[in-house]
Amino acid sequence: MAITFLFCLLSFRFLYIQVIWSEELGYRALDQWTREIPIVAERGKITDRNGVLLADNTAAYTVFARSNAVQDKETTSALLADALGIDGETVHEKLTKKKASEITVAKKVGKAEVEKLSQLSLDGVYYSRDNERYYPKGDALCQVVGFTSIDNVGTTGVEKYYDEYLSGKNGELLYETDLVGVEIEGSVATYLPAENGYNVQLTIDYGIQELVESALEKTAAAYSPASAECIVLDVNTFEVLALANYPSYDLNEVPRNDAELLNQLTRNRLVCDIYEPGSTFKIITSAANIEEHLQGNPKAFSTSYVFPSSRTRLVDSTTVKCWSNHANGKHSNQTLAEALNNSCNPCFTDIAMSLGKETFYEYLAKFGFGKKTGIDYGGEAYGLLLPKETVRGCDLARIGFGQTIAVSGIQLACATASAINGGYYYTPRLVKRIYAEDGYTLKNNQPVLQNRTISEQASATLARMLEGVVRDGSGKKAYIDGYRVAGKTGTAQKFENGRIAVGKYVSSFVGFFPADKPQYLALVIVDEPQGAYYGSVVAAPCAGEIFQGIISLKNIEPRK
């Protein structure tokens, strides 16, 4: 019995080694009698929609040494130090004391240094080509494109989000060696080629991006804000045509040693941060009211309804005031279009309260507030929307004109685009196509419709009203003669530690053109401008300059 058991045990062990464990043992054996030189895959390029290069690679090299194969360690260390411009004592210490059979002598070595090194023909020293990331446009689109780590792994932005496509797969060059790692004379090398990464084509139009960045710099120079941002959307596809955050930084000189500064400069605030939108949110309140009126809801106000001229509304013992004192007949007896022109808070309080919490929250959900838009970028914010069951009347009243709600810039831009493009809400996108160098397309992103928000009739009515805001109301500084520009200004007080921060405002403007057939939408947000702070004074002219630039760039003819 014991002999039978022992026989079975040995048979099982034999089977395990020969069949189950054979592959792993094969790898171990291969590792013992071979040494490999890594062949680093070339990281995929990043371009704008027209092929403008935004992220590329430059040749760099990594130098290795096998301590067992280096005969004269002192001389080799000195020669390496001289050729590569590194510390010879450190190299010598690695060669003599490091337990690993293979050490990394230096990374990111230039071509000239490697050529100098190759002429020395040092035993046990070899090198492999690496790829160092290079950004031809410097600080342009820095928060969108992002950057890589020293090992060429995506760390932020598109570089990180699409790293699995961009990174590729490394290869190897295998040499047969003896037990101490010295290459066997006459051995044949085995070549395992690298698979280069896929290229990524953004939806960004670099020409428009330049216009946006220039306009933000001018605004920053004039008003010295804490920050400023702008996003330009294609209204009919939700492709992001431009996205800029001020201040910026050079992608080729990332401040890696200052964590606080790095976080501040690399943060894409339009996607990752939230703010109270103020009066720009009145576009959404108006859209809900117009649609409900068209649907026959008696609680909605018609476009001809005249709102009373009172400067205040009392809701749950809370007084809601207009920014104007209504003196000299200002804001007296207004229609909805006039209320938008004048940005009169009490009128939008009336709308929100009349529609009621249930109906108003249905529209907030349709327009994507309180949830992510789904943009292909990491760290997107959800926004801040009070749970419906906890909302009081005074809360609902304030949400109606853009307070007691916090949104991200991308949320507001997409919601506005949907409100004026016929009621179509798409998933916003930064990447248009993923493709190989030979032209093979791995992924071609098409517009993805999430839902309908309002009808085309309601959307067209709203667009006409917002055109009046630019022509006759608070958005006049975005007006361009001969072109139908529309939009809405916003000026919101900032809160810190639950209280109003005295003298701190967020100025904004969201606009689009042509008003009758929208194509381009721009949202400008200026945080804590100094001197002037109204959105009509600070943000609207910035948007107007961007629109004027797009008109020139795209050769858009004026309307007769």
Identify the bridge partners of residue 195 per DSSP, sorted by sequence position.
169
Identify the bridge partners of residue 312 per DSSP, sorted by sequence position.
321
Spatial strand order of the sheet with 499-513 comes to 240-246, 227-234, 520-527, 499-513, 486-496
Tell which residue, 399, 378, 54, 56, has the closest CA to residue 196. Answer: 56
Identify the bridge partners of residue 384 per DSSP, sorted by sequence position.
406
Tell which residue, 142, 214, 219, has the closest CA to residue 530. Answer: 219
Burial of 482 (0-12, 13-18, 19+ CB in 10 A): exposed
Q: Are 461 and 266 a contacting pair, CB within 8 Å?
A: no
Beta strand spans in 416-519 (E): 424-426, 431-435, 441-444, 449-452, 486-496, 499-513
Q: Are 320 and 270 a contacting pair, CB within 8 Å?
A: no
Q: Are 41 and 197 a contacting pair, CB within 8 Å?
A: yes
Reduce the DSSP state of residue 232 to 3 states and report it: strand
Q: Which of 67, 77, 279, 474 is catalytic?
A: 279
The residue with tokens 């949202």 is 523
Residue 417: what are its φ and ψ, rounded to 5°? -60, -40
- 279 carries an active-site annotation: yes
Q: Are 336 and 346 a contacting pair, CB within 8 Å?
A: no
Rounded to whole angstroms, the Cα distance separating 52 from 204 reads: 10
Output the six-digit token pair for 363. 């529209």
For 395-416, letters b (16+ CB in 10 Å) and e give bbbbbbbbbbbbbbbbbbbbbb
The CA–CA distances, whole Å, from 551 to 80, 212, 234, 519 equal 58, 13, 14, 12
The 8-class DSSP code of residue 69 comes to G
Active site residues: 279
